[in-house]
Structure 1
C-alpha cells in the first residue's frame, strides 16, 4: 500500500520550470499560489527532491495562518510532513526544510555519507531506502505505514520523472504561465530518461493570466 500521490508544478508554456541557472523563478500568479497553499494544507506530506532544496531553499510549509489553524482544528500539525528525496544526503544543515516548523523526513540511500547522516539526524528523521539511489516505492510504502495517506510532490523534474516512470503517481496539476523561458539546459517538468507514459486530461481551467491542466494516470 502507498499514499495517494499527486504532483503540482508550475511551468512556462514551453514546459520549463526554471532557466539555465536553475534558480527559483516567479512562474505562478497570485491566484495559483493561493491554490497551491490550499493543496498543501490538505496534504499529509509534501515531497521534493534534493535539487529543489539546493536551488530554492524552500520551507515547504502552509503560508496561510487560517489554513494552518484549520489543520490544527482537524487534529493535525500546522504543517504537513516534509519529505526530501536525497540519495547522497546532500541537504545543507542550514536548509529551511530542517527548521522546526514541521517534521522532516530525509530519505537517503545506502550510498549516503554516514557522518552527514548522523548530523542531519539531529534535526530530522533520516531513513534509508535502496542501494545507490532512493527506492521511491519503498519510501512511499514507509510513509503509508506512518499514517500518511496523501502526498503532494512539488518537484523537481528528475523526481517527477522517476515517480511517473515507476507508475507511482495518481494525479498531476500543471499551471502554465503566459511566458517562454527557453534554454536547452533549462529544467523541464519531466527531466528524466525518455519514456512515454500515457495519462488522461481531466480538466483545464484558466487561472489569472495562465491556465491549469489536471491529468490522471492509469493504475
Structure 2
C-alpha cells in the first residue's frame, strides 16, 4: 500500500454497456439473486462499508448481513454482526426519515465541518468524522488513515461513481469486483463505475484480472489495481 490505510475493494453491478444506473439515476435493481448474495458476502468480509450520499438518497437503505453462515463467521472472528456503514458527503443533506436510519447497523458520517453541523446533537450517527482539506473538501486519504488506526482493515466501497473516481485518482483503491449484468441501459448521462474527469489512456490505472466467474447470465470479474508494471 502507498500509505497506512484499510484494504479497499469496490463492489458494483453494471449493465453490459458499463452503466451502474439508468439515465434518471434510479436505484439499480437489475442484479440477480446471485449478485445480491455476492455483495452480501463481500460486505460480511469487511470491517466497514463506504458509500456516497447520492447512493444513499437513491436507495434509502443499505445492505445488511443476514445470511446465518455469514453472521456466524463474523461472530467467530470476534466482529460485530454488522460492519460499520459510513456515508461520505460534503453537505450531509439527506432525509432523516429514510429506512437507513432504522436499520440495526453502526452508522457513521464522514463529512466536512459544515456537514457535521447539520447532524450535531442528533442520534442518527454513532460517530461523525470530520477530515477536511484546506479547500473545504473531504480529506479521504486522512480519513482512511484514521480508520486504519482504529483497526478497520478491510473497507468495501459501494459507489457512486464520483466517490470511486476520487478514490482511484488518489490511489486509494486496491481491488474491483464488477458484476456484468445482461442488459443495455445506454444514456450519455447514466452513471458509470468511475466518473469524474477521467484519465488519459497512457496514464490510466491498470488492472490485473484475478478471477472470472459466470453464474447463469451474469459475469463476475475480480480485478487488482496494479501499482507497478510487470
Category of TM-score, reference length = shorter chain: over 0.9
1:218 has 2:226 as partner: yes
Q: Is the contact made by 2:108 and 2:125 (CA closer than 8 Å) also made in structure 1?
A: no
1:124 aligns with 2:132: no
Q: How far apart are residue 147 of structure 1 and its match?
A: 1.1
Q: Would the aligned equivalents of 1:29 and 1:208 in 2 still touch at CA under 8 Å?
A: no
Unaligned runs of 5+ in 2: none
Whether the aligned pair in 2 keeps the contact of 1:202 and 1:215 (CA below 8 Å) is yes
Task: Give the TM-score of the pair, scaled to structure 2.
Answer: 0.88
Is structure 2 residue 223 aligned with structure 1 residue 200? no
Deviation at 1:19, TM superposition (A): 0.6
Residue aligning to 1:162: 166
Partner of 1:135: 139
Partners of 2:205 and 2:226 within 8 A in 1: no
Cross-structure match for 2:16: 13
Secondary structure in structure 2 of the residue aligned to 1:217: strand
Contact 1:93/1:120 (<8 A) preserved: no
For residues 23-172 of structure 1, the aligned pairs below 5 Å read: 23-99=26-102, 101-112=104-115, 114=117, 116-120=118-122, 123-131=125-133, 132-172=136-176
Q: Is structure 2 residue 191 aligned with structure 1 residue 187?
A: yes
Alpha-carbon separation, structure 1, partners of 2:95 and 2:214: 38
Contact 1:19 1:187 in 2 (8 A): yes
1:182-207 deviation line (CA, Å, top 9, x unaligned)? 11111111111112222222222212
Deviations 1:80-133 (A, max 9, x none): 01111111111322233333512111000134262x121545543111111422
Q: How many residues align?
A: 218
Q: Deviations over 1:158-203 (max 9, x none)?
A: 1111111111011101000011001111111111111222222222
Matches of 1:74 and 1:215 in 2, distance apart?
26
Q: Give the secondary structure class of the aligned counterpart of 1:199.
A: strand
Contact conserved, 2:181 with 2:218, CA < 8 A, in 1? yes
1:84–1:211 distance in 2 versus 1, CA, 3 Å: same
TM-score, length basis structure 1: 0.92
How large is the Cα RMSD of the aligned pairs?
1.7
**Residues 74-83 or 64-73, more deviating:** 64-73
Greater mean deviation of Cα atoms: 84-93 or 65-74: 65-74
